[in-house]
A and B are shown apart, each in its own frame.
Chain A
Amino acid sequence: MTSYTAYQTGEPIADTKAPAGPIEERWDRRRFTAKLVNPANRRKHTVIVVGTGLAGGSAGATLAEQGYHVVQFCYQDSPRRAHSIAAQGGVNAAKNYRNDGDSIHRLFYDTVKGGDFRARESNVRRLAQVSVEIIDQCVAQGVPFAREYGGLLDTRSFGGVQVSRTFYARGQTGQQLLLGAYQALSRQIAAGNVEMHARTEMLDLVVVDGRARGIVARDLVTGEISTHFADAVVLASGGYGNVFYLSTNAKNSNATAIWRAHRRGAHFANPCFTQIHPTCIPRSGDHQSKLTLMSESLRNDGRIWVPKAKGDTRAPGRIPEDERDYYLERIYPSFGNLVPRDIASRAAKNVCDEGRGVGPGGQGVYLDFADAIARMGRDKVAEKYGNLFEMYERITAEDPYEVPMRIYPAIHYTMGGLWVDYDLQTTVPGLFAIGEANFSDHGANRLGASALMQGLADGYFVLPSTINDYLARHPHDTVDPQHPSVTEAVEGVTARLEKLLSIDGDRTPDSFHRELGELLWDDCGMARNATGLRKALERIPELRDEFWRRVKVPGGGEELNQSLEKANRIADYFELAELMCLDALHREESCGGHFREESQTPDGEAARDDDRFSYVAAWEFRGTGAAPVLHKEQLVFEYVHPTQRSYA
Chain B
Amino acid sequence: MRLTLRIWRQRGPEQPGTMTAYEVDGISEDMSFLEMLDTLNERLILDGDEPVAFDHDCREGICGACGMVINGQAHGPERTTTCQLHMRHFSDGDTIDIEPWRAAAFPVVKDLVVDRSAFDRIIGSGGYVTAPTGSAPEAHATPVPKPVADTAFEHAECIGCGACVAACPNGSAMLFTSAKVVHLNVLPQGAPERESRVLDMVGTMDAEGFGGCTNTGECAVACPKGIPLQSIATMNREFLRAARRAPR
Contacts and interface: CB of A to CB of B under 8 A. Distances in A.
B231 interface: no
B233 interface: no
B183 A144 contact: yes
Contact of A77 (B39, B42, B116, B136): B116
Interface stretch (B80-88, B214-222, B236-244): B80-88
B50 interface: yes
A287 B62 CA distance: 21
B72 to A, nearest CB: 21
Interface residues of A, number: 80
B123 A182 contact: yes
A183 B187 contact: no
A86 B63 contact: yes
A168 to B, nearest CB: 11
A287 B38 contact: yes
Contact of B60 (A133, A139, A292, A552): A292
Contacts of B160: 78, 80-81
Interface stretch (A266-274, A389-397, A400-408): A389-397
Contacts of A221: 109-110
A290 B51 CA distance: 19
Contacts of B123: 80, 182-183, 186
Contacts of B135: 140
Interface string A167-180: 00110100110010
B12 interface: yes
B146 A148 contact: yes
Interface stretch (B1-9, B150-158, B166-174): B150-158
Interface residues of B, number: 79
Nearest to B138: A136
A5 B84 CA distance: 43
A559 B38 contact: no
Interface in A542-596: 552, 554-555, 559-560, 562-563
Contacts of B55: 77
Contact of B120 (A61, A80, A293): A80
A21 B31 CA distance: 57
A175 B128 contact: no
Contacts of A376: none
B34 interface: yes
B125 A190 contact: yes
Nearest to B129: A142
Contacts of A33: none
Contacts of B51: 554, 562-563
Contact of A183 (B44, B80, B128, B152): B128
Interface string A484-517: 0000000000000000000000101011000000
A345 interface: no
Interface in B85-136: 86, 88, 109-110, 113, 115-117, 119-121, 123-125, 127-136
B64 interface: yes
Given A144-B156, A508-B46, A554-B49, A152 B57 contact: no
Contacts of B64: 80-81
Contact of B32 (A86, A135, A289, A508): A289
Interface string A74-88: 001111111101100
Interface string A152-167: 1100000000000000
A172 B149 CA distance: 14
Given A62-B133, A186-B127, A85 B58 contact: yes
B16 interface: no
Contacts of A506: 46
A251 interface: yes
A140 B46 contact: no
A62 B131 CA distance: 10
Contacts of B142: 139
Interface in B45-76: 45-46, 48-51, 53, 55-65
A562 to B, nearest CB: 6
B184 interface: yes
B136 A137 contact: yes
Given A78-B117, A186-B124, A198-B117, A133 B109 contact: no
A78 B38 contact: no
Contacts of A62: 132-133
Contacts of A141: 128-129, 131, 189
A42 interface: no
B157 A172 contact: yes
Contact of B133 (A460, A511, A563): A460
A559 B59 CA distance: 24
Nearest to A187: B128
B49 A288 contact: no
Given A83-B58, A135-B139, A146-B149, A187 B130 contact: yes
Contact of B132 (A65, A169, A288, A554): A65
Contacts of A78: 116-117, 119-120, 160
A243 B116 CA distance: 29
B63 A65 contact: no
B137 A140 contact: yes
B145 interface: yes
Given A140-B136, A397-B86, A252 B45 contact: no
Nearest to A137: B136
Contact of B46 (A133, A149, A552): A552
B128 A184 contact: yes
A560 B113 CA distance: 10
B146 A186 contact: no
A639 interface: no
B136 A86 contact: no
A170 B153 contact: yes
A189 interface: yes
A150 interface: yes
Contacts of B136: 133, 136-137, 139-140
Given A142-B187, A145-B149, A552-B46, A150 B143 contact: yes
B45 A289 contact: no
A76 B30 CA distance: 27
Interface in A297-322: none
Nearest to B39: A287
B46 A290 contact: no
B65 A147 contact: no
A148 B150 CA distance: 10
The listed residue with most A CB atoms (<10 A of its CB), out of B119, B123, B190, is B123
A221 B34 CA distance: 21
B84 A508 contact: no
A506 B45 CA distance: 9
A464 interface: yes
Contact of A144 (B28, B138, B152): B152
B248 interface: no
B120 A186 contact: yes
Given A140-B129, A176-B156, A81 B65 contact: yes
B144 interface: yes
Given A140-B131, A142-B189, A250-B57, A76 B125 contact: no
B50 A85 contact: no
Nearest to B54: A562
A271 B134 CA distance: 33
A77 B121 CA distance: 13
Contacts of A287: 28, 30-31, 35, 38-39
7 contacts: A78-B119, A139-B142, A140-B136, A141-B128, A147-B145, A190-B125, A552-B45
Interface of B: 11-12, 28, 30-32, 34-35, 38-39, 42, 44-46, 48-51, 53, 55-65, 78, 80, 84, 86, 88, 109-110, 113, 115-117, 119-121, 123-125, 127-140, 142-146, 149-150, 152-153, 156-157, 159-160, 183-184, 187, 189-190
The 9 tightest CB contacts between A and B, nearest first, are: A151-B143, A190-B124, A140-B136, A183-B128, A144-B153, A140-B131, A186-B124, A136-B136, A144-B152
Given A77-B117, A139-B189, 13 more contacts: A62-B132, A65-B133, A76-B63, A141-B189, A144-B152, A144-B153, A146-B149, A176-B153, A183-B129, A250-B59, A391-B60, A554-B44, A560-B110
